[in-house]
Structure 1
């Protein structure tokens, strides 16, 4: 099965290998590119590719004019400043430039017009690796600030540039996977919030990026025997319940209940060698290298504990001389005691201790905080049906009873209130205050509840308004599937899973999930019925087991605003059950606590959000421009390679292309956006330009209201439109935000 981690790792190492070709070189990276590389590649693997040293461009370095350097850099203004300082100092002999993402045309021209750069450049390449594979089929951008930028009313002026950055990152994922997919997006049936057009605009941006990449890279997509992939752009408003409900699969439950440190790596602090003289508290990494974690993370907690105990019992049976024959291996505590006596198997012991401790702690919280009672009501609110798949009765009384229970924590009470209001499709304001009073929550918690309206929920309604029920996005399952009480608390299925199942069946509604470019045929539906190739004419009888795996259609889902671990699990489940490779990409992973906090922040003053775009811009360190170092040695004698005056690159100096990962051109009209996505955006909301986007245009290009194409008339690819705010007297009406529409 294909892995996003392995794909990105291969791209990085193949690029380095194609440049070194057996010659020793220095690798220069920056803070951002280092995070991308460290996420998938070990330092030793890089050094083994004839890399003499790895240096940070922002740090003080020795002059090394006798050795060539490979720069793998992020396209940020201050990093370009650092690079130009190196060119001016002639810090290295020849320079091979590799960018993690597309370089802004203005910064590219700065390099092209530099005499020092022309003399030292030996290659220029752009990779599409500006993302972070977290699991084999889970990719994040490590950008929790994306949520407020997309949904906070005060961030409207940031939305357009942020969408452009998101579109380039999503395109990078598609390029890395060798996919030129059909693009679909979520369009709410009855939108009531400004951001309801978010997915449509973002999908159009992605389509533009993909088309531009394919236009300038004739070998994209690379030949493949699998059906054409599908990219679905959706956002958090498609499922407001998944981030609130209690999940009882191992990964989701652990991230919800335990103090897991989730950053560049995922750590959990536990006690190893408990009860012994060498007992210590240790932070242990949880990731793809942890086989126990990978094997059990999507299992229900009940099954996880049984599997852990069963695996340990199997080890005991195979190694009887390590244990007391009278020891009991049927309880978690007994197993933990037995593990303490196995110093010969330290790594295995620590791994089992970690997960046994995590499982035990989850179950303690499960019992002490009455999660079974909470989950039973949550499932009825989320599905609209009780455990017998009937309309729930006295649900309000059940909610109030739980809110009054002292054993239930404040965060669980707030989540329960949110779920109840979503279930009721809004209640009167006085009832919200009564629920908060029952829950003993301060009135300011009502802001988080009210802010759900910014994501499309109806929160309040008048007393005389008729009671309405929100139409479910997908028909609810009415046949009982619960096998026991434990599984009855996991009846709710994320909307993402139901969407993926419809895609696999070729039955996804084209009104709610339209295409950016409507297909000319029903090939997607045919692909859903058969895994026969759309790109080759190989006879189906020639397939073998390996080719069947390679021919699996790839579905990429981007969830704007953050995704949950239950949605990640759903992607793996559909991959297995439907014979597809489903990849989930998102800005960041959401836990219930983070989600509630971010929703609450949507009413805070923007200045208190500490958005990266509002911080002082990073600058190149001053030491790079100091001239205390001795003058570098003269360049080796002899004629150098002939220069290309057009791009400032040596003849034939482009790096060898990686199979399946072609690089975009340095500059093209479709990529020549006037706004620098890394500069502070203008304060004027960009509504006018984006309102001109035709969401159902088959051309895949923006059009303006006067009928001209957005690239005509010297517009250089900008989105233009007549000023719709102008009055007859020449003044301007009040401007709406990015997502505004006429009421």
Structure 2
């Protein structure tokens, strides 16, 4: 049950099912990113794919009738119109059209009418309508999902299509539950359920699996996790450098080589990264050192070319050596830049303060430390502002709160008005009144076990004390203790078309697909990875509107609160 493998299989099937011969792949901006994070372009080209083009950027007039065209696009109105135009004046000898989701009969009819030269050989639906970032993680790559705390234009439809595509591609038939205090979650759940009912024929296959849960959550219930610095390799890269469709820009790094100005950071295409992505900051440094030493050993052997046999060995092993050389150069550059940023912006001190703030209970010590860091010139404006945001969320309603003093400290150091407005917006977006969960463990636990878990859990690493709320929810799912008042069912399982082996109810689900409206984080991805490793009988897939770092989360909060009058903070 790997979303990466699902997308790979679909792309491979598109290529191999068409007639032999040179082909071109015609994609849109979305499907281009779907392919690029799971398959290297060189890997696709080895399967007779000659060239890649964007449907919205095609060159006009050139006749390439000797090529076959594989079309892989989302079934949008724009794409159908562009395909109609393409088929009216076809540039290629034959077309194999694959839509990434369910396509309407009316759109298929439009394509048939445009195909006067009868160049279309196939029109099929493949359910690869999402970005598969790792075997258990997917994103819809939709940064803005909400406006005025309601679904933004087009966002609901896109979310329904994306979530349904994951379910269809994995061939799982779910019961559906959603976060009860989120109207957006309820609406999404109802629309996904209706889509499943409308496409019930997809579950006629004997390998369609039941005993599955689709759980729809809202980011507003946990606004803390996207604000915290994380220390795994993949999380640091995303937070400090930014990742877009598996690519990282290093163009800003002083003295960087031309071939390293943009590098691929995708576990599906980089074996070293796949093995190292969950390592923490200290571990990745040692791993890079080991990689360097291994490279140097191989380099010294390569330099000893003294006979015909040595030459032969050199030629045979040169491709692997060249690949290793590129891997070393890339990761040494990336880790070097991460190390520079951590040091120059006092990020270890910032992270320690963040962790103590959200996991500890000493208000006075938290307040004093935040004051010191806000005044520190090494601390970036965004980190200073986020500390105050975390303080406002953590100590909301505390009798001795000094939020007013912290806001004044931000103003004195020249923090922009944007962050001061965001502080107010964030409290409306994810403050106590917006949440249904006990995010900080401030409510009285109901039993001794809960008390022991909360206060005597032990901490091996001060920088990784925090555990996302999602992990607690998953543990409740696994134990069949998820409260129906907080996470009601959408409809009932027996009313859905039943696949062979489908089970009504939730006890012991074999598969759980979690979708977070408003986006997920790499900390939550790590938690799911660890959860899957520990619990071999339950497989969890995690997805969201987008994949957040701090900057993207704050931007999404701004968009979500647009048009809603800000309440005056109690300072």
Counting only pairs closer than 5 Å after superposition, residues 72-151 of structure 1 correspond to structure 2 as 72-89=72-89, 95-104=95-104, 106-111=106-111, 114=113, 116=115, 121-146=120-145, 150=146
1:427-446, CA deviations, whole angstroms, 9 ceiling, x for partnerless residues? Answer: 79995443122132244422
How much has 1:311 moved relative to structure 2?
5.0
How much has 1:322 moved relative to structure 2?
8.7
Question: What does residue 457 of structure 1 align with?
Answer: 431
CA separation of 1:509/1:91 partners in 2, compared to 1, >3 Å: closer, same or farther? Answer: same
Question: What does residue 534 of structure 2 align with?
Answer: 577
TM-score, structure 1 length as denominator? Answer: 0.62
User: Any conservation in 2 of the 1:69–1:94 contact (CA below 8 Å)?
Assistant: yes
Whole-angstrom CA distance in 1 between matches of 2:555 and 2:422: 8
Q: 2:272 aligns with which of 292, 296, 308?
A: 292
Task: Say what the alpha-carbon RMSD is for the aligned residues.
Answer: 4.1
Whole-angstrom CA distance in 2 between matches of 1:280 and 1:65: 35
The residue matched to 1:12 in structure 2 has which SS? helix
1:670-726, CA deviations, whole angstroms, 9 ceiling, x for partnerless residues? Answer: xxxxxxxxxxxxxxxxxxxxxxxxxxxxxxxxxxxxxxxxxxxxxxxxxxxxxxxxx
Q: Does 1:202 align with 2:160?
A: no
User: Any conservation in 2 of the 1:178–1:221 contact (CA below 8 Å)?
Assistant: no
Whole-angstrom CA distance in 2 between matches of 1:561 and 1:90: 41
CA separation of 1:508/1:492 partners in 2, compared to 1, >3 Å: closer, same or farther? Answer: same
1:220-273, CA deviations, whole angstroms, 9 ceiling, x for partnerless residues? Answer: 47256xx6232211121121110112222222233323x345346234459799
Is there any run of 5+ residues in structure 2 with no aligned partner, and where?
304-317, 435-439, 495-501, 565-571
1:150-189, CA deviations, whole angstroms, 9 ceiling, x for partnerless residues? Answer: 1x22x85745x4212211111111111221222222224x
CA separation of 1:357/1:85 partners in 2, compared to 1, >3 Å: closer, same or farther? Answer: closer
CA separation of 1:91/1:267 partners in 2, compared to 1, >3 Å: closer, same or farther? Answer: closer
Q: Does 1:502 align with 2:501?
A: no
The residue matched to 2:512 in structure 1 has which SS? strand
Counting only pairs closer than 5 Å after superposition, residues 451-530 of structure 1 correspond to structure 2 as 451-458=425-432, 471=443, 477-483=454-460, 487-519=461-493, 526-527=507-508
Question: What does residue 216 of structure 2 align with?
Answer: 233
Whole-angstrom CA distance in 2 between matches of 1:425 and 1:561: 23
User: Any conservation in 2 of the 1:73–1:100 contact (CA below 8 Å)?
Assistant: yes
User: Any conservation in 2 of the 1:94–1:120 contact (CA below 8 Å)?
Assistant: yes
Larger of the two Rg values belongs to structure: 1
TM-score, structure 2 length as denominator? Answer: 0.78
Question: What does residue 406 of structure 1 align with?
Answer: 377
Report the structure, 1 or 2, having the larger helix content.
2
Q: Does 1:60 align with 2:17?
A: no
How much has 1:316 moved relative to structure 2?
6.4
User: Any conservation in 2 of the 1:55–1:61 contact (CA below 8 Å)?
Assistant: no
Question: What does residue 313 of structure 2 align with?
Answer: none
How much has 1:350 moved relative to structure 2?
4.1
Question: What does residue 554 of structure 1 align with?
Answer: 511
CA separation of 1:79/1:142 partners in 2, compared to 1, >3 Å: closer, same or farther? Answer: same
Is there any run of 5+ residues in structure 1 with no aligned partner, and where?
189-195, 324-341, 386-390, 461-467, 529-552, 607-743
The number of residues matched between the two structures is 526
User: Any conservation in 2 of the 1:418–1:449 contact (CA below 8 Å)?
Assistant: yes
Counting only pairs closer than 5 Å after superposition, residues 634-713 of structure 1 correspond to structure 2 as none
1:507-554, CA deviations, whole angstroms, 9 ceiling, x for partnerless residues? Answer: 3333222221345698666536xxxxxxxxxxxxxxxxxxxxxxxx33
CA separation of 1:459/1:384 partners in 2, compared to 1, >3 Å: closer, same or farther? Answer: farther
CA separation of 1:281/1:110 partners in 2, compared to 1, >3 Å: closer, same or farther? Answer: closer
Whole-angstrom CA distance in 2 between matches of 1:174 and 1:285: 28
How much has 1:584 moved relative to structure 2?
1.8
How much has 1:96 moved relative to structure 2?
4.0
Whole-angstrom CA distance in 2 between matches of 1:115 and 1:261: 39
CA separation of 1:269/1:85 partners in 2, compared to 1, >3 Å: closer, same or farther? Answer: closer
Question: What does residue 725 of structure 1 align with?
Answer: none
Question: What does residue 521 of structure 2 align with?
Answer: 564
User: Any conservation in 2 of the 1:370–1:407 contact (CA below 8 Å)?
Assistant: yes
CA separation of 1:433/1:518 partners in 2, compared to 1, >3 Å: closer, same or farther? Answer: same
1:300-325, CA deviations, whole angstroms, 9 ceiling, x for partnerless residues? Answer: 212222333345556668888799xx
Whole-angstrom CA distance in 2 between matches of 1:61 and 1:41: 30
Whole-angstrom CA distance in 1 between matches of 2:234 and 2:263: 15
Counting only pairs closer than 5 Å after superposition, residues 15-414 of structure 1 correspond to structure 2 as 15-20=14-19, 22=20, 28-43=26-41, 57=55, 58-63=58-63, 70-89=70-89, 95-104=95-104, 106-111=106-111, 114=113, 116=115, 121-146=120-145, 150=146, 152-153=147-148, 156=150, 158-159=152-153, 161-188=154-181, 196-214=182-200, 216-220=201-205, 222-223=207-208, 228-257=211-240, 259-260=241-242, 262-263=244-245, 265-269=247-251, 282-288=261-267, 289-313=269-293, 345-385=321-361, 393-414=364-385
Whole-angstrom CA distance in 2 between matches of 1:121 and 1:321: 55
The residue matched to 2:508 in structure 1 has which SS? helix
CA separation of 1:478/1:125 partners in 2, compared to 1, >3 Å: closer, same or farther? Answer: same
CA separation of 1:88/1:218 partners in 2, compared to 1, >3 Å: closer, same or farther? Answer: same
User: Any conservation in 2 of the 1:74–1:101 contact (CA below 8 Å)?
Assistant: yes
